[in-house]
């Protein structure tokens, strides 16, 4: 049977005996094809269960921090392109290299994370994130082997340093995702849900420079950078009561001095600013920077800050959410991973089991493989479901238009408020 849909993507299914155009296929026939492919996904994953279990366990036993995931990188690299764009990133791919206007190649990607957290190892269970991504790709590839003349590409990207720096942004800038149509990733969570909002975040490092002196003999000659840090911390704590309920500010004092009898001449803070939409990050950032400046003015210190990272909220895709939920339900009622679908795929989320089981246990492996099956089955729907890929792309495009229109309205609102702000400032300075 040959199935053709809008973009002329053709998939020849050898198990069927006569050609059938998109306009004439029966829904029950298409459902049977999808069901058979999904069964192949699950069977291939079950057959490789022990090997895949060793993969996640090996990463669990060698927790490595961001940028240093060398052993984890090597564990995951099987006949792939190592050190892809970044030292501990990789790329594995399978399928045809190109395509044509009449037979364009669709590239389905799966992401693996594998860095640990300082002091607590794989408490975020990135060993399972890595395993689920690899397993889903293995399952999808096995199913595609039964489909002749398949213009489908399967890609696995190893994305390091999620815990510090969010290096997916670097991979985006380097073009690692340019040829990928839909990207899926499973990540542990503490809740069961079809969607868990992933908020926008802006990271900032603040540095105060003062003047050192002996704290007992000549305290009046010092300029206390620790005082500036403490005041900034207090300013932000007071600011919280004026913030919107769903905005977040949290941070630490990373450096506060060397010895108690020295007036500290240097201090450093690190803060994360979070809002549901990245459009609000500029507003919360302005409020926070005012607190930093006020502490510098009060203590006589010099202040500087570095905006380290900025991450956008997840752009939802209800089409994929529905597909993932449907596939998860066919795998028996269970607790699944939260799933975040990035780039052109929007987002979809399921819960996890990490609040009950350790990430190296047999039960954790059971749920990991189940989540991977649901990911691969969702990819089957995207590739073979009539019109599914078009719906996913259409919803993504519409969401981006709405997002951009909202940003333009907000920029216009801020521009109109600027003259009033300048007038208020002038009046204040002349009093």
CA 6 centroid distance within chain: 31
Number of domains in the chain: 2
- Residues 235 and 294 sit within 8 Å (Cβ to Cβ): yes
Please check whether residue 350 lies inside any domain of the structure: yes
Does residue 17 form part of some domain? yes
Based on the domain organization, do 221 and 189 belong to the same domain?
no
Q: Tell whether 321 and 287 lie within a shared domain.
A: no
259 has a pLDDT exceeding 90: yes
Q: Residue 304: give its domain's CATH number.
A: 3.30.70.360
Residue 2: the pLDDT is 25
Sheet order of strands, 302-311 included: 248-255, 266-275, 200-209, 302-311
Rg of the chain (C-alpha set): 26
CA angle 195, 137, 38 (to 5 degrees): 75
Return the pLDDT at 159: 87
Same domain membership, residue 8 and residue 84: yes
* Alpha carbon 96 to its chain's center: 27
Q: In terms of domains, do 139 and 149 share one? A: yes
Is 428 among the domain residues?
A: no
Phi, psi of 308 (to 5 degrees): -80, -55
**Predicted TM-score of the model (pTM):** 0.71
Domain that holds residue 252: 200-312
Domain boundary among 277, 312, 347: 312
Task: Please give the structure tokens belonging to residue 36.
Answer: 């058979």
Does residue 144 share a domain with residue 30? yes
Beta strands in 317-411 (DSSP E): 338-342
Residues 222 and 210 in one domain: yes
Whether residue 427 is contained in a domain is answered as no
Which range (1-15, 72-86, 135-149, 391-405) has the least confidence?
1-15
Quick check: 365 pLDDT over 50? yes
Domain endpoint, select from 270, 297, 312: 312
The Cα 328–Cα 322 span in angstroms is: 10
Q: Is the pLDDT higher at 321 or at 294? A: 294
Work out the average pLDDT over 318-346: 63
Task: State the CB neighbour count (10 A cutoff) for residue 79.
Answer: 6
Mean pLDDT computed over 337-360: 33
DSSP string, 45-77: HHHTHHHHHHHHHHHHTS---TT--HHHHHHH-
Residues 28 and 115 in one domain: yes
pLDDT at residue 381 greater than cutoff 80: yes
Same domain, 214 and 155: no
- Do the domain assignments include residue 285? yes
Q: Are residues 20 and 167 in the same domain?
A: yes
The answer to whether residue 419 is domain-embedded is: no
Query: Does residue 11 fall inside a structural domain?
Result: yes
Helix (H, G, I), strand (E, B) or coil at 17: coil
CATH number at residue 67: 3.40.630.10
Domain ends where: 292, 312, 332?
Answer: 312
pLDDT exceeds cutoff 80 at 224: yes
Tell me the pLDDT tens digit for each residue of 24-54.
334 445 678 889 999 999 988 888 888 777 7
With a cut of 90, say whether residue 253 has pLDDT above it. Answer: yes
Is 412 inside a domain boundary? no
Report pLDDT for 402.
Answer: 85
The residue ranking higher by pLDDT, 276 or 164, is 276
Regarding whether 207 and 153 lie in a shared domain, the answer is no
Residue 218 has pLDDT above 90, yes or no: yes
Binning pLDDT at 50, 70 and 90, where does residue 247 land? very high
Stretch (H or E) spanning 270: strand 266-275
297 and 327 in a common domain: no
| Cβ burial, residue 398 (10 Å; 0-12/13-18/19+) | exposed
Q: Are residues 106 and 167 in the same domain?
A: yes
């Amino acid at each position: 049977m040959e199935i053709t849909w809008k973009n002329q993507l053709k998939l020849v299914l050898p198990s069927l005996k006569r050609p059938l155009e998109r306009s004439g296929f029966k829904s029950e026939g298409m459902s049977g094809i999808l069901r058979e492919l999904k069964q192949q996904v699950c069977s291939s994953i079950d057959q490789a269960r022990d090997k895949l279990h060793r993969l996640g366990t090996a990463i669990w036993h060698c927790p490595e921090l961001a940028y240093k995931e060398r052993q984890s990188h090597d564990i995951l690299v099987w006949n792939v392109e190592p050190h892809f764009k970044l030292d501990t990133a990789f790329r594995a791919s399978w399928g045809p290299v190109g395509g044509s206007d009449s037979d364009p190649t669709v590239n389905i990607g799966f992401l693996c994370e594998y860095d640990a957290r300082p002091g607590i190892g794989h408490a975020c269970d990135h060993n399972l994130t890595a395993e689920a991504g690899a397993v889903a790709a293995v399952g999808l590839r096995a199913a595609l082997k039964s489909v002749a003349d398949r213009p489908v590409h399967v890609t696995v990207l190893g994305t390091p340093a999620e815990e510090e720096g969010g290096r997916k942004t670097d991979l985006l800038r380097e073009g690692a995702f340019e040829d990928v149509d839909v990207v899926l990733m499973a990540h542990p969570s503490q809740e069961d849900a079809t969607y868990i909002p992933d908020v926008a975040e802006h990271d900032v490092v603040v540095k105060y420079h003062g003047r050192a002196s002996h704290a007992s003999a000549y305290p009046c000659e010092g300029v206390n950078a620790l005082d500036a840090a403490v005041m900034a911390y207090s300013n932000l704590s007071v600011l919280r009561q004026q913030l919107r309920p769903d905005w977040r500010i949290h941070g630490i004092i990373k450096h506060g001095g060397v010895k108690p009898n020295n007036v500290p001449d240097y201090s450093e803070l690190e803060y994360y600013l979070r809002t549901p939409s990245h459009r609000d990050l500029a507003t919360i950032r302005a409020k926070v920077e005012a607190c930093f400046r006020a502490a510098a003015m009060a203590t006589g210190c010099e202040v500087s800050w570095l905006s380290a990272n900025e991450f956008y909220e997840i752009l939802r895709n209800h089409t994929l959410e529905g597909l993932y939920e449907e596939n998860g339900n066919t795998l028996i009622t269970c607790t699944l991973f939260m799933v975040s679908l990035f780039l052109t795929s929007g987002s979809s989320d399921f819960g996890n089991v990490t609040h009950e089981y350790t990430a190296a246990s047999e039960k954790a492996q059971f749920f990991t493989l189940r989540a991977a099956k649901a990911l691969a089955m969702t990819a089957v729907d995207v590739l073979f479901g009539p019109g599914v890929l078009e719906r996913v792309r259409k919803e993504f495009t519409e969401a981006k238009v709405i997002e951009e229109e909202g940003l333009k309205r907000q920029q216009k609102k801020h521009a109109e408020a600027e003259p009033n702000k300048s007038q208020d400032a002038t009046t204040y300075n002349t009093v």
